[in-house]
Structure 1
Amino acid sequence: MFGLFKKKTELEKLELQHKKLLEEAFKLSKTNRSASDQKQLEAQQVLDKIEALQNK
């Protein structure tokens, strides 16, 4: 309740986006492998941004 109006940090937003992309890639891996590979690539790019923020 106390964190109700707390804004998410850039790192938290990127972590959520990374998780979402990995879930989508997993779902697509069952039907469309090339689309799954594209989502994996996007997830890797987000992970690189996360690592860059953590190293600052």
Structure 2
Amino acid sequence: MFRKNWDGQAVRNIAVYSNKLSPDTGQQLDLFSQPTQQIRHNQLNRVIDDIHQWLH
């Protein structure tokens, strides 16, 4: 797919996205951040994901 769409210009970034690979059953916490902040951030991300799913 890359070679098919590449026009010979310099490549600055290549990204691969995926979703729904496995169920979200846990959260890995960062040792350098407050756990309560990480949990709140994860909860906010879940709400945002729910809104995106509802809109599509």
Normalising to structure 1: TM-score of the pair?
0.42
Q: Which has the larger radius of gyration?
A: 2
Normalising to structure 2: TM-score of the pair?
0.42
Instruction: Identify, as 1 or 2, the structure richer in helix.
Output: 1
